[in-house]
Amino acid sequence: MTCRDPSPTQLMEDNHINMQSHSCDPDRPAHPGIFPTREAGKSNHQLAGSSVDFLVSVVLPAGGTGERTGLQTPKQFCSFLGRPLISYTIQAFERVSWIQSIVVVVAKENMDLMTDIVQRFQHKKVRAVPGGSTRHRSICNGVRALGDGEEERPKVVIIHDAVRPFVDEDLLYKIAMAAEEQGAAGAIRPLVSTVIATTSEGYLDHSLERAKYRASEMPQGFTYDVICQAYQKCSESDFEFGTECLHLALQYCGTNAKLIQGPPTLWKVTYKRDLAAAESIIKETLSRSACVITGGSEQAVTLADALQKAVGALDMKLDVIPDLMGENAGYLLKEWNFIQVSVNRSCLSEVEAVLTDLQAANRAVLHPLVVIWTSGRRTDSDSSKVHLSGSDELSVSGRGVEPATIMDLASAAKFRNILLYGIQLRQTKDAERWERSVLRLAEITSALIRERSPALVGQLLQA
Ligand SMILES: Nc1ccn([C@@H]2O[C@H](COP(=O)(O)OP(=O)(O)OP(=O)(O)O)[C@@H](O)[C@H]2O)c(=O)n1
Ligand SMILES: O=P(O)(O)OC[C@@H](O)[C@@H](O)[C@@H](O)CO
């Protein structure tokens, strides 16, 4: 996780609300209906096993400064594996086919940065609008943008803090359907700590019965009309100090939100420790599987099968294939990790071919891809076993692969966000030692894929 400059420290321009019009944006002309009342459009989207037959749009409030992290860079722009947190959240919504559009609400000084992020990570359905000095004001600006004529007004608006990157389609579907039916819906989680009330002198006044209360999380959903009306009627104090959209719907629209319990991953990145936790989850998600390419040789398949068995104990799934052609080309579009196994071959041509395929598939836009070149050599007549070659015997011709060669290849690949590592297996005649070497190979492979460290790129490690 990196939180480098540019780090906007300028606090958002104060965004005063005009009581008459409740315009959330001081620059926009005040007018009686800040939320157009055109009939919501209809659209039919088929979800596997379910359907959403109304338009759904999303508002991602991302206009905060993240003061509680103690960092200069607002947490939504802190990077994980070279990508800002907000891009992960946007991706979680982009892959939901029945969501028609996403409005990201950012501080005015971050509008250019947000536009760059949308372009760099090829986000679709996304546009950025300026936020306000409080979360409610930002959300209000986002909701208003949904009705400003650039697109068909949605039936349901999903509101989700941009710093909650782990949200799944199943929950979004439940929230959207409940909001369409009920007018409002929100995700909840059990309380971890008991809530207590304090006296003005800082003493315990009373304790709430924890079982009767829940933590209000995100996503939340509202019919466009309900959330518009709520923001049109709410008070200046609500805009300034409020933290709960569901409350506004109840208070100003008489709409009782349907509450839906979500998974533990709904938590909001708030403190610095949450950034580390988010990075760990992102890395873990990318490291659950890999594709092993053998070229079809018997020795390479033997080594790959041994590796597959060994990493299974490390909670990692390997698919062993001969190449990335035909139906195996699908791995180029779904896998983040590739292991090229070469036995008795000195050149890196096979791994170069993998790199070329990956670059052509343009897969490294969202996440760095990991390619590991694993080399071994059969050293006895028993073809059922691939023994390990010493680095000085790596090739049939007796010439080993120069470490500089893989470093050069890796340096070029890194510019395309592909991390190339090499692992050599040591020579042994002893089956038990060979097993231990394969276990080391599995541990190194798993660690390289999990950490995706740019520092080790191009290194030739020894298993
Ligand atoms: N004026 C604001 C304040 C907050 N938010 C957004 O609302 C979400 C939840 O708010 P919070 O976690 O409080 O973010 P910050 O206000 O940035 O955090 P802090 O209170 O620590 O400064 C975040 O995505 C934040 O960017 C916003 O859009 N506009
Ligand atoms: O912006 P804050 O971190 O102060 O609070 C945000 C939370 O209140 C909010 O995300 C949920 O409680 C749902 O409303």
ipTM of the complex: 0.98
Query: Cβ < 6 Å from ligand 1: which residues?
Result: 12, 61-68, 74, 76, 105, 131-135, 138, 161-163, 268, 270
Ligand nearest to the CA of 274: 1
Instruction: Give the pLDDT band (50/70/90) at residue 223.
Output: very high
Q: Cis link prior to 219 (omega < 30° from 0)?
A: yes
Q: What is the pLDDT of residues 394-414, one digit of tens each?
A: 222 334 566 778 899 999 999
- How many Cα neighbours within 13 Å face the side chain of 424? 24
pLDDT at residue 349 greater than cutoff 80: yes
Taking the C-alpha atoms of residue 85 and residue 6, their distance in angstroms, rounded to an integer, is 15
Within 13 Å and on the Cβ side, how many CA atoms surround 27? 8
Pick from 78-87, 143-152, 163-172, 437-446: least confident: 143-152
Which ligand gives the minimal distance to the CA of 262?
2
Instruction: With 0.90 as the threshold, say if the pTM is over it.
Output: no
Question: Which residue's CA is the nearest one to ligand 1's atom 4?
Answer: 64
Between CA 55 and CA 295 the distance in angstroms is: 48
Provide the pLDDT confidence category of residue 344 given band limits of 50, 70 and 90: low
* CA dihedral of residues 305, 309, 310, 316 (deg, nearest 10): 110
> Which residue, among 399, 453, 393, 450, has the nearest Cα to 424 in the 3D structure?
393
In this prediction, residue 426 carries a pLDDT of 75
| pLDDT of amino acid 404 | 72
Residue 24 has pLDDT above 70, yes or no: no
Q: What is the pLDDT of residue 14?
A: 36
pLDDT score at 418: 95
For residue 157, give the H/E element and its range.
strand 156-159
The upper half-sphere exposure of residue 238, i.e. CA atoms within 13 Å in the direction of its Cβ, equals 21
pLDDT at position 21, please?
35
Summarize pLDDT for 25-62 with one digit per residue, the tens.
434 333 333 454 444 544 444 444 368 999 999 999 99
Q: What percent of the chain has pLDDT over 90?
A: 73
pLDDT over threshold 60, residue 307: yes
Q: What are the DSSP E strand ranges found in 98-147?
A: 99-106, 126-130
The candidate with the shortest Cα–Cα distance to 423, out of 462, 378, 369, is: 462
Under DSSP, the state recorded for 97 is T
**Which protein residues are within 6 Å of ligand 2, measured from CB?**
135, 161, 216-218, 243-245, 268, 270
57 vs 10 pLDDT, higher one? 57
Number of Cβ within a 10 Å radius of residue 27: 9
* Atom 6, ligand 2: residue with shortest CA distance: 243
Ligand 1: which atom is nearest the Cα of residue 134? 1
